[in-house]
Amino acid sequence: MRYSPEHKEAVRAKIVEEASRALRRSGLDGVSIPALMKRVGLTHGGFYAHFADRDELVAEAVRQGAEQTAARVFEGVPSLDGSLNAYLSPEHAEHPEEGCVVAALGADAPRQRAPVRKAFAYAARGLLALVQKKLAPSTKELSDEALEVTSRMVGALVLARMVEDPKLASRLLATARRR
Protein backbone atom coordinates (compact mmCIF):
# COMPACT_ATOMS: atom_id res chain seq x y z
CA MET A 1 0.00 0.00 0.00
CA ARG A 2 1.33 3.39 -1.00
CA TYR A 3 0.91 6.36 1.26
CA SER A 4 0.25 9.89 0.09
CA PRO A 5 3.14 12.36 0.04
CA GLU A 6 1.39 14.24 2.85
CA HIS A 7 1.32 11.13 5.03
CA LYS A 8 5.00 10.44 4.39
CA GLU A 9 5.84 14.05 5.20
CA ALA A 10 3.84 13.90 8.44
CA VAL A 11 5.59 10.70 9.52
CA ARG A 12 8.99 12.20 8.72
CA ALA A 13 8.12 15.29 10.76
CA LYS A 14 7.08 13.08 13.68
CA ILE A 15 10.41 11.22 13.53
CA VAL A 16 12.39 14.47 13.38
CA GLU A 17 10.44 15.95 16.30
CA GLU A 18 11.04 12.90 18.49
CA ALA A 19 14.70 12.74 17.44
CA SER A 20 15.23 16.40 18.24
CA ARG A 21 13.84 16.00 21.76
CA ALA A 22 15.60 12.68 22.38
CA LEU A 23 18.98 13.92 21.17
CA ARG A 24 18.81 17.06 23.33
CA ARG A 25 17.79 14.91 26.31
CA SER A 26 20.21 11.99 25.87
CA GLY A 27 23.02 13.26 23.65
CA LEU A 28 24.07 12.44 20.11
CA ASP A 29 25.29 8.97 21.10
CA GLY A 30 22.44 8.32 23.53
CA VAL A 31 19.74 7.65 20.95
CA SER A 32 19.59 4.57 18.73
CA ILE A 33 17.56 4.47 15.54
CA PRO A 34 15.66 1.31 16.60
CA ALA A 35 14.68 2.87 19.95
CA LEU A 36 13.70 6.14 18.29
CA MET A 37 11.55 4.40 15.69
CA LYS A 38 9.89 2.33 18.39
CA ARG A 39 9.00 5.55 20.26
CA VAL A 40 7.19 6.87 17.20
CA GLY A 41 5.45 3.54 16.61
CA LEU A 42 7.41 2.45 13.54
CA THR A 43 9.88 -0.28 12.71
CA HIS A 44 13.60 0.22 12.35
CA GLY A 45 13.35 -0.72 8.67
CA GLY A 46 10.86 2.10 8.11
CA PHE A 47 13.57 4.61 8.96
CA TYR A 48 15.14 4.23 5.53
CA ALA A 49 11.92 5.17 3.78
CA HIS A 50 12.40 8.64 5.27
CA PHE A 51 16.16 9.19 5.65
CA ALA A 52 19.26 8.13 3.79
CA ASP A 53 21.20 7.67 7.03
CA ARG A 54 21.46 8.69 10.68
CA ASP A 55 23.40 11.86 9.83
CA GLU A 56 20.53 13.14 7.71
CA LEU A 57 18.12 12.68 10.61
CA VAL A 58 20.48 14.22 13.18
CA ALA A 59 21.14 17.23 10.96
CA GLU A 60 17.44 17.82 10.48
CA ALA A 61 16.77 17.35 14.20
CA VAL A 62 19.47 19.90 15.07
CA ARG A 63 17.97 22.43 12.65
CA GLN A 64 14.51 21.85 14.09
CA GLY A 65 15.80 22.29 17.64
CA ALA A 66 17.38 25.59 16.62
CA GLU A 67 14.14 26.80 15.04
CA GLN A 68 12.16 25.82 18.12
CA THR A 69 14.49 27.83 20.35
CA ALA A 70 14.23 30.80 18.01
CA ALA A 71 10.44 30.65 18.17
CA ARG A 72 10.21 30.09 21.92
CA VAL A 73 12.93 32.46 23.13
CA PHE A 74 13.26 35.20 20.53
CA GLU A 75 10.25 35.58 18.25
CA GLY A 76 7.47 37.66 19.74
CA VAL A 77 9.69 38.68 22.66
CA PRO A 78 10.14 42.45 22.45
CA SER A 79 13.53 42.86 24.12
CA LEU A 80 16.85 41.18 24.71
CA ASP A 81 16.06 41.15 28.43
CA GLY A 82 12.92 39.13 27.73
CA SER A 83 14.90 36.67 25.63
CA LEU A 84 17.57 36.42 28.32
CA ASN A 85 14.92 35.75 30.95
CA ALA A 86 13.50 32.91 28.85
CA TYR A 87 16.85 31.43 27.80
CA LEU A 88 18.49 31.73 31.21
CA SER A 89 15.54 30.38 33.16
CA PRO A 90 15.61 27.43 35.56
CA GLU A 91 12.97 25.75 33.37
CA HIS A 92 15.26 25.91 30.33
CA ALA A 93 18.14 24.52 32.37
CA GLU A 94 16.00 21.68 33.73
CA HIS A 95 14.55 20.65 30.34
CA PRO A 96 17.26 20.32 27.70
CA GLU A 97 14.91 18.22 25.55
CA GLU A 98 12.85 21.37 24.96
CA GLY A 99 15.72 23.82 24.86
CA CYS A 100 18.61 25.19 22.90
CA VAL A 101 20.34 22.58 20.78
CA VAL A 102 23.59 24.59 20.88
CA ALA A 103 23.76 24.40 24.69
CA ALA A 104 22.54 20.80 24.82
CA LEU A 105 24.74 19.30 22.12
CA GLY A 106 27.15 21.92 20.80
CA ALA A 107 30.26 20.44 22.41
CA ASP A 108 29.78 17.30 20.30
CA ALA A 109 29.45 19.18 17.01
CA PRO A 110 33.11 19.26 15.93
CA ARG A 111 33.35 15.46 16.14
CA GLN A 112 30.43 14.86 13.78
CA ARG A 113 30.44 14.29 10.04
CA ALA A 114 29.96 17.20 7.65
CA PRO A 115 26.14 17.21 7.36
CA VAL A 116 25.72 17.35 11.14
CA ARG A 117 28.49 19.94 11.58
CA LYS A 118 26.75 22.11 8.99
CA ALA A 119 23.47 21.85 10.90
CA PHE A 120 25.24 22.91 14.10
CA ALA A 121 26.86 25.82 12.26
CA TYR A 122 23.37 26.84 11.12
CA ALA A 123 22.13 26.64 14.73
CA ALA A 124 25.08 28.58 16.18
CA ARG A 125 25.02 31.31 13.52
CA GLY A 126 21.26 31.57 13.89
CA LEU A 127 21.54 32.04 17.64
CA LEU A 128 24.18 34.73 17.17
CA ALA A 129 22.01 36.49 14.59
CA LEU A 130 18.97 36.40 16.90
CA VAL A 131 20.95 38.04 19.69
CA GLN A 132 22.34 40.62 17.26
CA LYS A 133 18.81 41.40 16.08
CA LYS A 134 17.74 42.04 19.69
CA LEU A 135 20.74 44.32 20.26
CA ALA A 136 20.49 46.29 17.02
CA PRO A 137 17.62 45.26 14.73
CA SER A 138 18.92 47.21 11.74
CA THR A 139 22.47 45.81 11.89
CA LYS A 140 23.12 42.50 10.16
CA GLU A 141 26.86 42.26 10.93
CA LEU A 142 27.61 40.53 14.21
CA SER A 143 28.89 42.88 16.88
CA ASP A 144 31.37 41.93 19.57
CA GLU A 145 28.55 42.50 22.05
CA ALA A 146 26.38 39.90 20.31
CA LEU A 147 29.27 37.44 20.41
CA GLU A 148 29.83 38.11 24.11
CA VAL A 149 26.16 37.96 25.13
CA THR A 150 25.57 34.74 23.19
CA SER A 151 28.68 33.15 24.67
CA ARG A 152 27.54 34.09 28.15
CA MET A 153 24.06 32.71 27.52
CA VAL A 154 25.23 29.34 26.25
CA GLY A 155 28.04 29.05 28.79
CA ALA A 156 25.81 29.86 31.76
CA LEU A 157 23.18 27.37 30.63
CA VAL A 158 25.75 24.60 30.11
CA LEU A 159 27.35 25.26 33.50
CA ALA A 160 23.98 25.44 35.26
CA ARG A 161 23.19 21.97 33.92
CA MET A 162 26.57 20.61 34.97
CA VAL A 163 27.10 21.79 38.54
CA GLU A 164 24.52 19.53 40.24
CA ASP A 165 23.84 22.26 42.78
CA PRO A 166 20.51 24.09 42.41
CA LYS A 167 21.70 27.19 44.29
CA LEU A 168 24.84 27.53 42.20
CA ALA A 169 22.87 26.85 39.02
CA SER A 170 20.44 29.63 39.94
CA ARG A 171 23.31 32.00 40.60
CA LEU A 172 24.92 31.20 37.26
CA LEU A 173 21.68 31.88 35.39
CA ALA A 174 20.91 35.05 37.36
CA THR A 175 24.41 36.45 36.91
CA ALA A 176 24.27 35.88 33.15
CA ARG A 177 20.79 37.47 32.95
CA ARG A 178 22.04 40.64 34.67
CA ARG A 179 24.76 41.08 32.01
Per-residue pLDDT of the chain (179 residues; tens, 9 = 90+): 677 889 899 999 999 999 999 999 999 999 999 999 999 999 998 999 999 999 999 999 999 999 999 999 999 999 999 999 999 999 999 999 999 999 999 999 999 999 999 999 999 999 999 999 999 999 999 999 999 999 999 999 999 999 999 999 999 999 999 97
pLDDT in tens, 81-116: 999 999 999 999 999 999 999 999 999 999 999 999
pTM: 0.94
Domains of the chain: 5-178 (1.10.357.10)
Q: What is the percentage of the chain residues whose pLDDT exceeds 90? A: 94
From 14, 19, 30, select the one nearest 61 (Cα to Cα): 19
Alpha helices in the chain (DSSP H): 5-26, 33-39, 54-69, 80-87, 90-94, 101-105, 114-135, 144-162, 166-178
CB atoms within 10 A of CB 43: 10
